[in-house]
Structures are given as structure tokens and as C-alpha cells.
């Protein structure tokens, strides 16, 4: 039921989401892609791809021999993404699919890279490890995981306290929450080898790159 409500919320936001988020989140997502060092011919999956802002950049890095998949729970977000790709005449190597991160609709060992940007913290406490296990199931060999998420490393900071208050008061609207992404990733069967934090509107954002153990 909760995920159905989230899908409806993001359906409603789909036309405006890029305008609301790209100026603040965009540089952080791009830094994660830089740190992942995508290679020609690789297969990449973004879980929670939203309007697909980063999918063309991924496609450019993996080239014609590679493939990029964008998965999102919201049909509205996927429709916006499809229209953008058609308008820009991009996306010959980009595939879109509706799905839930808790049960990804792909066979084992299909991807070299899985990315979640401002997505992992949308899942409940009892769901996050399942999402990461599903990502590990899809990764080949020592496949790479990229995470961008709100960080709870500094819970006493004013902006973080204010954000938590807003989240508790309006969880249906302010649905992301700060999490201990490094600890969660390390506890879910990954070797964490890059970790940085960046500011965003007074909050802290963790950018992580890990390998499947």
C-alpha cells in the first residue's frame, strides 16, 4: 500500500520533478557517475530513474555496445522520460521498465553497474537491505554499486533537525529521510571503496561507490 501511494505521488510530480530537483541534486548525481567510471560496453541499471535525467549521460559513457536500463515505480515518471528521449532523439541503448526495487524484474548477473540516487532512503528500514540484496543478485562478478543519499552522520545540525521534523509531519510529501548509507551498504554484502559527503541546502549528502563482495 505504501509503495502504491508513493507511485501516485510521483505520478503527480512527474511533469515538474526535474525543475524541482535538478539544480540541487544534479551535480551530486553526476559526481557519482564520474566516480563509477562507466566503461564502453557495460550494462547499467538505475533504480528509481525518475524522469531519466541521467540516463543519456550513462548511455554516452557505455556507448553503442553497452545498454542502460531505467527502472521506476511511477508510470508518470517513465512517460516523461520516454517523451524526453524521443524529443532529443536519444536513447537507442536506453530501456525503461516499471518495477519495484524490492523485487527487480531481471535475471541474475545481468549488470555491471547499479545506481540509486536519492532512492534508497525512500524504502522502509526493513526494506533497504532487501533492495541491496536484489541489486547484488543482478550484479556480475565484482560489479559496482553507486549510491547518492541523504546522510544522517550529523543529526544535531540545524538543517538536519528541521528536515526530520518536516519528514515526520509530512511523510507523504517529504518522503526521503537521512540514513546511514555507508553502514547499510557495508552490512549488505558490499566492499565500500569510495565515500564522500557533500552539502545540499544545509543537509549532508553521501556519495558512495562499492563493489559486490
pLDDT digits (tens, 9 = 90+) for 195-210: 999 999 889 999 999 9
The larger pLDDT score, comparing residue 173 to residue 171, is at 171
Domain 2-212 in CATH 3.20.20.70? The answer is no
Strand order in the sheet with 190-200: 94-98, 67-72, 43-47, 111-117, 139-150, 203-212, 190-200
The residue ranges of every structural domain in the chain are: 2-212
At residue 14, the pLDDT reads: 46
Q: For 115-127, write each residue's pLDDT tens digit.
A: 999 999 999 988 9
Model pTM?
A: 0.89
- Bridge partners (DSSP) of residue 29 are none
Query: pLDDT at residue 13 above 70?
Result: no
Amino acid at each position: 500500500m505504501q509503495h502504491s501511494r508513493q507511485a501516485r505521488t510521483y505520478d503527480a510530480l512527474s511533469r515538474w520533478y526535474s525543475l524541482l530537483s535538478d539544480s540541487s541534486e544534479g551535480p551530486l548525481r553526476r559526481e557519482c557517475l564520474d566516480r563509477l567510471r562507466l566503461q564502453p560496453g557495460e550494462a547499467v541499471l538505475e533504480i528509481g530513474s525518475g524522469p531519466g535525467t541521467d540516463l543519456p549521460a550513462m548511455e554516452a559513457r557505455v556507448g553503442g555496445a553497452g545498454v542502460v536500463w531505467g527502472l521506476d515505480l511511477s508510470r508518470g515518471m517513465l512517460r516523461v522520460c520516454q517523451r524526453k528521449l524521443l524529443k532529443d532523439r536519444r536513447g537507442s541503448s536506453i530501456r525503461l521498465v516499471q518495477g519495484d526495487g524490492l523485487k527487480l524484474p531481471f535475471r541474475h548477473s545481468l549488470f555491471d553497474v547499479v545506481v540509486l540516487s536519492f532512492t534508497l532512503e525512500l524504502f522502509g528500514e526493513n526494506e533497504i537491505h532487501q533492495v541491496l540484496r536484489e541489486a547484488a543478485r543482478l550484479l556480475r562478478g565484482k560489479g559496482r554499486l553507486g549510491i547518492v543519499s541523504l546522510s544522517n552522520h550529523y543529526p544535531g545540525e540545524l538543517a538536519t533537525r528541521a528536515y526530520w521534523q518536516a519528514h515526520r509531519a509530512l511523510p507523504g510529501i517529504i518522503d526521503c529521510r537521512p540514513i546511514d548509507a555507508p553502514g547499510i551498504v557495508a552490512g549488505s554484502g558490499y566492499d565500500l571503496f569510495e565515500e564522500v559527503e557533500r552539502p545540499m541546502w544545509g543537509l549532508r549528502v553521501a556519495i558512495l561507490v562499492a563493489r559486490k563482495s
